[in-house]
Amino acid sequence: MRGPHNIWRLIVTGATLERTGAMGVVLDAMDAPRPLRILARTLGWPFKWLGYKGDVNMPPAPRALTALGPAYIKFGQVLSTRPDVVGEELAIQMRVLQDKLPAFPIEVAKKMVTQELGLPADEVFSEFSEPVAAASIAQVHQATIAETGEVVAVKVLRPGIEKAFRKDIDAFYLAAEMIELLSPASRRLRPTEVITHFEGVVLGELDLRLESSAASEFAANTGGDAGFTLPAVKWDLSARRVMTLGWADGVSLGDNDAIDGAGHDRSVLASRVLELFLQHALRDGYFHADMHQGNLKVAPNGDIIAYDFGIMGHIDEYTRRVYAEILFGFIRRDYKRVAEVHFEAGYVPADRDVEEFARALRAVGEPIFGMDATHISMGRLLTYLFDVTERFGMETRTELILLQRTMVVVEGVARSLDPHMNIWQVARPVVEEYIKGSIGPAAVVRDLGKTAKVLARFGPRLPALVEAALIRQAGDVPVEEASKTKSRSVWFVAGSAVGVAVLLTIQWVWF
């Protein structure tokens, strides 16, 4: 579907921002420079009449994004957690995009439940409420299971949501391709690959069977985390377009007045949100990647409840260690080590000067420390890092996009609870604990043990593998050289066997 016809979608986007009055609001909130304002208004104003009218009862920005479709709504959800970027007033306006969107009729939801579960909805559930929350992808109903009397939450996808999302993403692809064509410097950021990554994440959110699986895995990983709970998945009442979970009572994490009224300490909650995210990302490599206020509650006992597991992030163990070392280096203000980690991981081309890169990183980190906590911003730090890495030729790491985006969102949620929170002070003990367990001597021994197990499994096959390699090589090298190679290979096999024995002994003694 990609092609020039999507230009129309981009024109309609600008026209809708103009018609709803959102263009000026967004430009003002983000303090856009004068040239950008002139360009945006020049492109949008002539086509204003083509824009969607939207819901006139909503503020301009949410009105425009809601009218444009689900992908734009997702963008607005991120902005709703960033008052330091778009301003407090606009951030509050954007929160209606999290779970207060217009709902579709209950009859449509029941019909979909019947189709997906293969049983009449009224037989499965003795009670089925009007929507209690409606977001960009789905809406939620409170229901009672007829057989057990248990109160549950039933999530139902919006009708036609798959087609609508593909249309939005299709236009994003065109925009990315145009950016790459018109701005060669932007190719370093691989915008098309970024959209591909985003598409994979979003399309996964449109299959509730995958979300049920994600919720189950997340629960298994976090079962021992104090102050954190998840609703249980009801597998027998879940399908592709319907998902049933245990009901979670609590106060929305976006309602500060209700949180205060319930007697919860918002400073404690703010720190816990950030700590939990870092623990899940570093310890497990599997984290909730859509942690805005609409997906978080505070239980009566003070536990944080998370739900909506459509977007989950995964990073492998090596990347987690790299990320932790970079973050820890900034916390300790050890910019030389941060620079070295970038080079060791291959994030920065090897032909660049590590000392110069370290000095550039110092220029990023030093302005952050010593600031009042209300002025410390992860968003600002990422902006500075963007400028520095661009100069040093660092390419966008698609595997870190979701992690970085979630970090920004979580910081926004925490700061909405406690504007005076210092993210570095909260993050330091979590990162230090991970460093000690994953990069210290014990971790080295564990890594050697894993290597030994792999070598032990292949041990009986090593001679045959070496002989096969020598036979292939024999046709390409002189007989004398092949003989020498074979001799070295025999010693290599013998050394490997001894090494395996030593490593297995170390592992047995250590563990």
Domain coordinates in residue numbering, the chain: 4-99, 250-439, 443-510
Joined tokens for residue 511: 């563990």
| Structure tokens that stand for 205 in this block | 């959110």
Which of 192-208 are b and which e, b meaning 16 or more Cβ less than 10 Å from the residue's Cβ? beebebbbebbeebbbb
Question: How crowded is the C-beta side of 68, counted as CA atoms within 13 Å?
Answer: 32
pLDDT value at position 32?
60
Which residues are catalytically annotated? Answer: 290
- HSE-CB at 341 with a 13 A cutoff on CA atoms is 20
**How far is 250 from 68, CA to CA, in rounded Å?**
32
User: pTM surpassing 0.95?
Assistant: no
- For 95-160, give the secondary structure using H, E and C: CHHHHECCCCCHHHHHHHHHHHHCCCHHHHEEEEEEEEEECCCEEEEEEEECCCCCEEEEEEECCC
| Nearest by Cα to 186 from 386, 3, 52 | 386
510 forms beta bridges with none
Q: Which two tokens stand for residue 106?
A: 């209950």
**Ordered per-residue pLDDT tens for the chain, 511 residues:** 555 667 777 788 888 888 888 888 877 765 666 665 676 676 667 778 888 888 888 888 888 888 888 778 877 776 665 565 566 677 777 777 766 677 899 999 999 999 999 999 999 999 999 999 888 788 999 999 999 999 999 999 998 888 888 878 887 787 777 767 766 655 655 677 767 766 776 777 789 999 999 999 999 999 999 999 999 999 999 999 999 999 989 999 989 999 999 999 999 999 999 999 999 998 999 999 888 888 899 999 999 999 889 888 888 888 888 888 887 888 788 999 989 988 888 888 888 899 999 998 888 888 776 666 566 666 566 666 666 776 787 766 656 667 777 887 888 899 889 988 888 788 888 888 888 777 666 666 666 777 777 666 666 776 776 667 767 766 555 545 545 554 554 444 455 544 544 444 444 444 4
Determine phi and psi for 2, rounding to 5 degrees: -65, 145
Assess contact for 133 and 86: CB atoms under 8 A: no
Exposure string of 67-94, with b = 16+ CB inside 10 Å and e = fewer, is: bbbbbbbbbbbbbbbbbbbbbeebbebb
Tokens describing residue 208: 């509730």
Residue type at position 484: K
Q: Tell me the H-state helices in 223-316.
A: 256-261, 266-279
